[in-house]
A and B are shown apart, each in its own frame.
Chain A
Amino acid sequence: MSTQTEPKKPLNEFEAGLDKADKAVASFAQDDKTLTHVLRKFLRDYPTTIPALVLIVSILFFGAFANNFMTPGTLSLVLKQVTVTGIVAVAQTLIILTAGIDLSVGAILVLSSIIMGKLSVDFGLPPFLAISIGLFFGGLMGWFNGILVTVIKLPPFIVTLGTLSIFTALKLWYSASQSIRGSDIRETAPSLLFFGERISFGGFQITYGVVALLVLAGLVYYMLNHTAWGRHVMAIGDDPDAAMLSGIRINRTLVSVYAFAGLICAFGGWAAAGRVGSISPIGFDDVNLQSITAVVIGGTSLFGGRGSVIGSVLGAIIVGVFTTGLSLGGVDDYWQQFAAGCLVLVAVALDQWLRRATK
């Protein structure tokens, strides 16, 4: 990661310089409409096209070559598997759109779900209250990240690397490294497992968690594209100086983004409890990197200001399709990871190509 965040500033400055140098030529070269230009422009305008196409192609591919892939059961399973990653990827998208990164998402998720579980199971709080408190603490942890990024002015990578350790320690301390058993939760606070419940239609078994993911993604998409807040988030990631000079309250907006992302992660913790059926302090360790993978495959630029939350959800599903498809095709675990790694590299290379495609 550090290699991706470090050259950000010199690159931007370099590009700013390029813009100036290019201008005279640009005004005369407008008619240069080669196929590559048209393609680049289309992909820039509709950034979710690529993940959508990749998803369709990969589903068709595994449908043709992997046994039992193209069945309602398998497809439902893929969706179920990506629920938590997808929700966290929505939060991660918000952060990455501001040209930041959040390595603490997984720890926030687990700590929030432990708070929900312990308060309702061990302390007998009504589930509604326990969940609300868990969500509050998720938002609080995100807010803490945001304060460190804006007020103390530390790079998001470093801040969240630090809080990753802090929140991880807190979750082990608070849970005393013990899981909360599914049977206990079912007895005292079944609503904690709500998002694991299923609705069936025509062989498909969709959990409420999947529905929640789709609703959440729709909501955040709407906020990003149709509210002033969303536009400010995009502008800050795009060009913080321009955003500041335009009168946008950068710090306030950034803190709200981190806090909102924390809230979404806590919500992901609730969904994770339903997905697994119990709450473990050592689960979901890899969701940090998985969420970044999903965001990048979904076409959101790590340099900020460009991307889509819908793409991130598609990115999460693509990884799920590859993992499930390859395992149904009898491919070993490590080749599944290999494939996910290749997807990331291709996605970032594509993003770089698009960044150069300003014409």
Chain B
Amino acid sequence: MTNTQNPLVELRNIEIAFGGIKAVDDVSVDLYPGEVVGLLGHNGAGKSTLIKCLSGAYKKDAGEVLINGQSVEINNPRDARSYNIETIYQTLALADNLDAASNLFLGREIVTKSGMLDEAKMEAETRKIMARLNPNFRKFNEPVSALSGGQRQSVAIARAVYFNAKILIMDEPTAALGPHETQMVAELIQELKKQGLGIFLIDHDVHAVKQLCDRAAVMKNGQLVGVVKVDEVTEDDLLAMIILGRKPEHLAA
């Protein structure tokens, strides 16, 4: 990658403990503009926990977060948003009884001058972005609980993309998707990359990470095994890192 630029995000020596157990132990990862960094590891390896202190869902116990070289404090999701960090959560974080537009603008509603919701505008904007992401989407006036898994996913993605994110966190974005929709997400990632976004992609699937990512950071038991360029390793190397916690020999030196 273009390592001549300044990194968009630097996570330095992040630590988070839950009741004495270190879920994330002294992990440092960085992310450059136009780059996709995959986070790999078993369930419970600490990938999601690490990334949640960037998205504001958790507070780190120790360490430093730098955005464009500036040290920042992210205490809640609002702080994260103010640094143009958007997150697609594994659980999607959609309010089931609200429709797509309400979810898209939840917490950031467009209001008229008199303080009332501008629902016409929000729906129009939702239609615009959904036309780009999921042209078949029709259920604008139904609660998202009535949508299929893929449709719900596309609403969650739309919410992250709509607000001009610079840093995008995707926590298993394709977990609920079929092959066709997974392909669409892959294309979207390529497009966003071209626009210069930095993307953290959390995934289980070594194959997908190899395809979509520029670098992969592998975690095991809360610790960072290593960060590698995906072109320099094989899928087996990545698997060895995940399972054995061992960096490939030709890179270890």
**Pairing of A with B:** yes
Where the two chains meet, the residues of A that have a C-beta atom closer than 8 Å to any C-beta of B are 16, 19-20, 23-24, 26-27, 30, 41, 44-45, 226-228, 231-232, 234-235, 238-239, 241-249, 305-306, 358-359
In the complex, how many angstroms separate the beta carbon of B243 from the nearest chain A beta carbon?
26
Closest to B139 in A: A30
CB < 8 Å neighbour of B94 from A20, A45, A242: A242
Given contacts A231-B109, A245-B89, contact A239 B94 (CB under 8 A): yes
Q: Are B149 and A24 in contact (CB under 8 A)?
A: yes
Is B204 engaged at the interface, CB distance under 8 Å to the other chain?
A: no
* A-facing residues in B41-99 (Cβ within 8 Å): 55, 57, 76-78, 81, 87, 89, 91-98
**A227-B143 Cα distance, complex, nearest whole Å:** 18
Closest to B82 in A: A247
Is B131 engaged at the interface, CB distance under 8 Å to the other chain?
A: no
**A212-B144 Cα distance, complex, nearest whole Å:** 36
The 10 closest A-B pairs by CB, nearest first: A23-B149, A247-B107, A27-B148, A246-B107, A228-B109, A245-B93, A246-B106, A242-B93, A235-B95, A238-B95
In the complex, how many angstroms separate the beta carbon of A245 from the nearest chain B beta carbon?
4
Closest to A26 in B: B148
Is B146 engaged at the interface, CB distance under 8 Å to the other chain?
A: yes
List 7 extra interface pairs beyond A23-B148, A238-B97, CB under 8 A. A16-B91, A45-B142, A228-B115, A234-B95, A244-B57, A246-B95, A306-B97
Is B124 engaged at the interface, CB distance under 8 Å to the other chain?
A: no
By CB atoms of chain B within 10 A, which of A41, A232, A245 has the most?
Answer: A245
Query: Please, which residues of chain B bring their CB within 8 A of the CB of A44?
Result: 143
In the complex, how many angstroms separate the beta carbon of B245 from the nearest chain A beta carbon?
29
In the complex, how many angstroms separate the beta carbon of A50 from the nearest chain B beta carbon?
17
Q: Are A238 and B81 in contact (CB under 8 A)?
A: no
In the complex, how many angstroms separate the beta carbon of B72 from the nearest chain A beta carbon?
16
**A359-B147 Cα distance, complex, nearest whole Å:** 8
Is B164 engaged at the interface, CB distance under 8 Å to the other chain?
A: no
Q: Are B146 and A358 in contact (CB under 8 A)?
A: yes
Q: Are B77 and A245 in contact (CB under 8 A)?
A: yes
Q: Are A247 and B93 in contact (CB under 8 A)?
A: no
**A321-B98 Cα distance, complex, nearest whole Å:** 33
Query: Please, which residues of chain A bring their CB within 8 A of the CB of B57?
Result: 244-245
Closest to B117 in A: A226
Given contacts A239-B96, A241-B91, contact A247 B76 (CB under 8 A): yes
Main secondary structure of the interface of A (DSSP, over half): helix
19 contacts between A and B (CB under 8 A): A19-B149, A23-B148, A26-B149, A227-B116, A235-B98, A239-B94, A241-B91, A242-B94, A242-B106, A245-B57, A246-B93, A246-B103, A246-B106, A247-B76, A247-B77, A247-B81, A249-B78, A358-B96, A358-B145
Query: Please, which residues of chain B bring their CB within 8 A of the CB of A23?
Result: 148-150, 176
Query: Please, which residues of chain B bring their CB within 8 A of the CB of A16?
Result: 91
In the complex, how many angstroms separate the beta carbon of B80 from the nearest chain A beta carbon?
8
Q: Mark B120-134, 1 if CB is under 8 A from A, else 0.
A: 000000000000000
Query: Please, which residues of chain B bring their CB within 8 A of the CB of A232?
Result: 106-107
Q: Are A27 and B149 in contact (CB under 8 A)?
A: yes
Q: Are B150 and A27 in contact (CB under 8 A)?
A: yes
**A226-B95 Cα distance, complex, nearest whole Å:** 17
Closest to B109 in A: A228
Is B28 engaged at the interface, CB distance under 8 Å to the other chain?
A: no
**A16-B95 Cα distance, complex, nearest whole Å:** 12
Closest to A307 in B: B97
Query: Please, which residues of chain B bring their CB within 8 A of the CB of A228?
Result: 109, 111, 115, 117
Is B102 engaged at the interface, CB distance under 8 Å to the other chain?
A: yes
**A235-B159 Cα distance, complex, nearest whole Å:** 15
In the complex, how many angstroms separate the beta carbon of B116 from the nearest chain A beta carbon?
5
Q: Are A239 and B95 in contact (CB under 8 A)?
A: yes
Is B250 engaged at the interface, CB distance under 8 Å to the other chain?
A: no
